[in-house]
Amino acid sequence: MEEDEIAGYVTAYLKKKGFTQTEKIFQEEFQTNKTNSSPLEPDIAKHILSFSQLESGPARFHDGYSRLRSWTHCSLDLYKHELLRVLYPVFIHCFMDLVAKGHVQEARHFFNTFREDHEMMHLRDLQKLEGVLSPTHLEEMEFAHSLRQSKFNIKICEYSYELLLQHLHSTQSTTILGIINEHINFQVTPGQPSSIVDDPEAVTLSGSSQDAANQINQKEIHWGLLEDSLEERLEKASSLLSDSEKGEGEAKEGETEENKKRPVEGGKQGASIKKVKKDKGGSATGKNTKAEVNTVSAAPRVKPELPMPIIPTEVEQSILEDLRNRVQLSSVALPSVSFYTFLNTHNGLSCSSISHDGSLVAGGFSDSSLKVWDMAKLGEQTASSLSQDENDTSQNPQMGQSGGGKRQYTLFQGHSGPVYAASFSPVGEFILSSSADSTIRLWSTTYNANLVCYKGHNYPVWDVQFSPVGHYFASSSHDRTARIWSMERIQPLRIMAGHLSDVDCVQWHANCNYIATGSSDKTVRLWDVQSGECVRVFVGHRSMILSLAMSPDGRYMASGDEDGTIMMWDLSSGRCLTPLIGHTSCVWSLAFSCEGSVLASGSADCSVKLWDVNTSTKVSRAEEKSGNASRLRSLKTLPTKSTPVYALRFSRRNLLFAAGALAKNG
């Protein structure tokens, strides 16, 4: 190649880029070097050549992508699926580059040509993206924005990576190379390519905010249970009872309990907050054989960060009674499910909630009303099938029924928009409801009246949840925040901001120190209630998150999305243990059984599914070691007769309640 020619290219390139200074220097140098004749390597020259042609137009995106695509499809079978992963990020960034440069027509053409390739995996994203038709839209749209700002992490084996680079260099697809360099972060792993089974972590999105997410997930969280909880007390009481059987006097009971508590607490003060609870009572007597109690007590104990409300003794007694009578559930002992069917809802039921003892059922309607049924009473009147379980447990004060038998329910009116969520306080004396009118209202089931209206959100409040101890509650809204409230203040105590889209659901951690929020940005976040900081970001869902549940031992969290996928997360590591696949439509509701061995999920596909939690966590541990992807066990599918399942609740005795509105078919 003639040096002059090269020089020509270089100057042309520099001119184009507007590097006038450099151009001058280059020409000077070129003149001086001419005699020295240290020839530029032809390779570099070629590169410069291609760079000078770079800005030739939008067609190069099209060409570059289609070349990469056909090459990938022709590549070796063993490495093909890894290389295919690269296509999608390249595709969307090509598209967005085209849009950003203003080549709208070409962008459209490009998008339509290749969209079929990605429809199966990324249909929703494509649908969002295809509306982007001008550079301003790119700025405006949060999804595009986040895509532009973040990088794709792609796991790829060494050889595939080499292949890819070789291909890109040999074909001089600088455009594509640029996109890959800019937006894809390869995690090159030595050895064989990973198996073809879809590894959820193979392609992940991470970016400036997501880098922070990784850091966030380094933070320590204390997922242990609250110390001195009722369950713990029950355990002690039972061990004491066995002591007293031996001959110890009843009167000593109170004393010994206190004596035992004291050293435990003293130890806790010394150590940090995370402190494995010593099972003093159990080990001392050695008589405690309850499996459930053992699993619960295996969880470390933490101190509450919020001042806790005091539980009235009679309520405490009834809860203790329930705990004593709890049915042990496991993969072989499945729960009984009582189903509440809403009839004649005229498509108006937008949420439903069941009190902890199953005796009260609330329905929020799109006509702004909230209706509460007292099933225990209904059961008494008509001697319904739920005879003993309910009547025993319903310690609620009787509700004065205004309708005088005319209406079976209590009507709560006050909202001015569809009621999107309702939540019972642990004892069942209060209900919270959240609505499209951006307010949350507190109702008393004792007085059948509205007590407080909490205003703070600016947009519809999608979800509201009482904390496990009552008094505090959390709400989530379209305004992309979640807020923590206490019953006696009309202003929120904390505002959790950080989600990139609507916060669709909220759930309390068992120890009340954290809340989890699920969002339309397809992430779940865990927030520290005391500091208001985000302490975990869980990435992995492919669509909007609709339901969350925390395991009673505080270690795990389950989240369900629009596609019917349920994911089980380990809170401490922030990683997905295993996806539970089985539902075919939105998972509206999730619930852990009281000892945490069974997860129930209710879905729009008209079924309740029961999952074995123990194997799921175990299997995934084995999975980590062997790298073998085996799905966890679905224990049972309970189909309803065309009733989507809106709400699920395990009573303290482990009876599962489910609720849903009968959908007319045809």
Partner 1 sequence: MSIVGKERIEVIAQSIGITNLSPDVALSLAPDVEYRLRDIMQESIKCMRHSRRTTLTADDVDSALSLRNVEPIYGFASGGPLRFKRALGHRDLFYIEDKDLDLKDVIEAPLPKAPLDTAVTCHWLAIEGVQPAIPENAPVDGRSPSTGSSLFIVISVPAEAKKNEQKDDNLPVDIKLPVKHVLSRELQLYFDKVTELTLTQSESVLFKEALVSLATDSGLHPLVPYFTCFIADEVSHGLSNFSLLFALMRVVKSILQNPHIHIEPYLHQLMPSVVTCLVAKRLGSRLADNHWELRDFTANLVASICKRFGHVYSNLQSRLTKTLVNAFLDPKKALTQHYGAIQGLAALGPNVVRLLLLPNLEPYIRLLEPEMLLEKQRNEVKRHEAWRVYGSLLRAAGQCIYDRLKIFPTFPSSLPHAVLKTNARVLMSSPYKRKASLEQLEEQPPLKKTNTDGEVGVVLTNSSPSHKQGEAGTQASSVDSIIGSSSASEQMKNDTISNAVVRSNKVDTRSWKTSAALAQVWKDELNSGRILVSLFELFGEDILPFIQAPELYMFL
Site for partner 1 in 629-648 (CB under 8 A): 635-636, 638-642, 644, 646
State the minimum distance, in angstroms, from the CB of residue 611 to partner 1.
Answer: 13
Q: What is the DSSP letter of 56?
A: G
Positions 207 through 246 that interact with partner 1 (CB under 8 A): none
Q: Quote the tokens at residue 444.
A: 């008393």
104-129 and 59-74 are packed helices; what angle lies between their axes, rounded to 10 degrees? 60
- Residues 267, 270: Cα–Cα separation, whole Å: 5
Picking from 352, 346, 350, the residue whose alpha carbon sits closest to that of residue 375 is 352
- Which residues, 6 or more positions from 171, have their beta carbon under 8 angstroms from its beta carbon? 67, 71
**Given candidates 62, 81, 415, 478, which one binds partner 1 under the rule CB under 8 A?**
478
State the minimum distance, in angstroms, from the CB of residue 461 to partner 1.
Answer: 10
- Residues 267, 394: Cα–Cα separation, whole Å: 39
Which CB sits closer to partner 1, 447 or 459? 459
Residue 252 touches partner 1, criterion: CB under 8 A: no
Positions 354 through 373 that interact with partner 1 (CB under 8 A): 361, 363, 365-366, 371, 373
Q: End-to-end alpha-carbon separation of the chain, Å?
A: 76
Positions 142 through 201 that interact with partner 1 (CB under 8 A): none
- Residues 65, 75: Cα–Cα separation, whole Å: 15
Which CB sits closer to partner 1, 85 or 415? 415
Picking from 359, 330, 362, 339, the residue whose alpha carbon sits closest to that of residue 349 is 362
Q: What angle do CA 115, 117, 120 make, to 5 degrees?
A: 95
Identify which range of 259-267, 346-354, 394-402, 488-496 contacts partner 1 by CB under 8 A.
Answer: 346-354
Residue 132 touches partner 1, criterion: CB under 8 A: yes
Which CB sits closer to partner 1, 356 or 478? 478
Beta strand 301-302 with 225-226: parallel, antiparallel or unpaired? parallel
Task: Annotate each residue in 532-561 with x if it binds partner 1 (CB under 8 A) or - if it does not, as one string.
Answer: ------------x-x---------------
Q: Quote the tokens at residue 418.
A: 């569809």
Identify which range of 180-188, 212-220, 457-465, 621-629 contacts partner 1 by CB under 8 A.
Answer: 457-465
- Residues 217, 569: Cα–Cα separation, whole Å: 12
Q: Is 579:567 a contact under the CB 8 Å cutoff?
A: yes
- Residues 327, 325: Cα–Cα separation, whole Å: 6
Residue 325 touches partner 1, criterion: CB under 8 A: no
Which CB sits closer to partner 1, 378 or 493? 378
Q: Quote the tokens at residue 176.
A: 């594509």
User: What are the angstrom distances between the C-alpha of 553 and each of 89, 221, 269, 618?
Assistant: 39, 14, 22, 15
Identify which range of 30-38, 153-161, 606-614, 620-628 contacts partner 1 by CB under 8 A.
Answer: 606-614
- Residues 22, 14: Cα–Cα separation, whole Å: 7
Identify which range of 26-34, 247-255, 256-264, 404-412 contacts partner 1 by CB under 8 A.
Answer: 404-412
Residue 111 touches partner 1, criterion: CB under 8 A: yes
Residue 422 touches partner 1, criterion: CB under 8 A: no
Residue 130 touches partner 1, criterion: CB under 8 A: yes
**Given candidates 10, 49, 94, 351, which one binds partner 1 under the rule CB under 8 A?**
351
- Residues 585, 644: Cα–Cα separation, whole Å: 10
**Given candidates 21, 170, 344, 388, which one binds partner 1 under the rule CB under 8 A?**
344
Residue 584 touches partner 1, criterion: CB under 8 A: no
Which CB sits closer to partner 1, 35 or 344? 344
DSSP H or E run through 548: strand 545-550
Residue 431 touches partner 1, criterion: CB under 8 A: no
State the minimum distance, in angstroms, from the CB of residue 296 to partner 1.
Answer: 22
